[in-house]
Each structure stands twice: as C-alpha cells, then as structure tokens.
Amino acid sequence: MTELLPFALTFLIGFLLVTVFDPLGPITPRWAALLFRLCLGSLLGIGFSGFVYFTLLTAGLARPWAILTIEIPCAAVLAMLSIGRRPVRPANVAPPNQAPAWILAGIFGFAFLLVSARLVQISLANPVGEWDAALIWNLRAKFLTDQQNWRLAFSPLLDAQRGYPILISAFIARGWKLSGSFPATVPILLGLTFWTALLGLMVSALAMIRGTIAAMLAGLILLSTAPLLFWATGQYA
C-alpha cells in the first residue's frame, strides 16, 4: 500500500492544478468535464512530481522528507485556490433523449472493467514489462534513486537511450524512494495510468464535442485495439 500513496498525492496535485486553471467550467456534460480534469490532472501531476524529484536529485536533496515538504504544501495551496474559485454555471440546455446513450455507457463500463482486470492480470504476470521498460525506463529509474551515482543514468556505457524523456524515469524513482524499496507496482501503475488517461481523455473530449453516444463508441473501439493494450502492459511510453 505504501507505493500507492505517492500516486494519490501526485494525482491530487495534478487535479487541483487543472481545477484552478480550468477552461472547461461551463462546458457540458458535467461528467465529461470532470473526467477530462481527472485524466489531464493525472498526467500533469506525473510531470510535476517527476520534475520536483529530479530537481531535488540534482541539488543533493532527494529524500522522502524533502519530496513531501514540497508536494504537500503545494497541494494545500492549490486546494485553497480551488476552493476560492467562483463556480461557473453551465447554460441551461434541454437534455436530449438519453436512453441509447446510457445503454452504450453501460456496455462501455462493463467492457472497461473486463479489460482493466485482464490488463492487471497480465501486468502482474510480467511485472518488469517489455524491452524498453526493463532496459530503459526502469533501469534508468534505479540509477536515479542513488543520490551519489545518479549521473550514471546518462552514461554512454548504459545503453538506455539518453535522449528519452527523463521525467518518466524520475517519477518511477520518486515512487521507489518514497516507498523505501523497488516494488514492481510503481511502473505497472504508471503504465496503466497512461492507458487509462488516454482512454478517458478521448472519451471525455468526444462527449463534450460530439455527445455521449460518439464518445462511448470511440471508447469501445479503443478498448478493442490490441496493440494499445499491449503497450500498456509492456509499460512502454
């Protein structure tokens, strides 16, 4: 359970950031706007936490207390700012016939639960992921947990694609640093987070632009796209 707490704090910060600077206040349907905030906030929070950790690492302060000393006050300030925002009420629009939409939403929700359960099962059976995850993202993350030798993550002797984005490995290293060990659940959850956020962003954006029926149909298409599911369980970027 300790490895889940870093994700909770990260997602909270990201969600509050999107809420404070929310451009979707009056947009309907409201569930789509909320889902969009949650998915976008999860990705924004990952980038924020990865940046904070790597900054502390370069300063020689990559310790759990230092990470929490920065992130917890940031979450508190953002929470106060979000509470102080004046809510924007959406315009009154006559609701269309929602029966077909809710039927499709039920089918989509059931399919999402089935696919998610299968993805978790596959990830637990192959916790290190595929080639890129094992030899680039996660390997480099282990070097980034070492305050003394973290620069080896960029060594030309380590064939780990030095040009790849550092914040992904930095976020994995942050999760390992806060949990005090190297649980495989951290990169697994990161891979599944990217997949869930991608699905949620597309469904919510289409719901706001084209309606719930189009969003559910597109979501079902993504849920049946085998290569995308492979990348998610392989922990690929």
pLDDT in tens, 52-79: 999 999 999 999 999 999 999 999 999 9
The pLDDT of residue 121 is: 94
Tokens matching residue 22 = 């929310």
For 23-28, what is the mean pLDDT? 72
DSSP annotation string for 99-157: HHHHHHHHHHHHHHHHHHHHHHHHHHHSTT-SHHIIIIIHHHHHHHT-TTTGGGGG-TT
1 pLDDT band, cuts 50/70/90, is low
Instruction: Tell which residue, 193, 204, 177, 207, has the closest CA to residue 42.
Output: 193
Number of H helices, E strands in the chain: 10, 0
In this prediction, residue 30 carries a pLDDT of 86
Is the Cβ–Cβ distance between 187 and 3 less than 8 Å? Answer: no
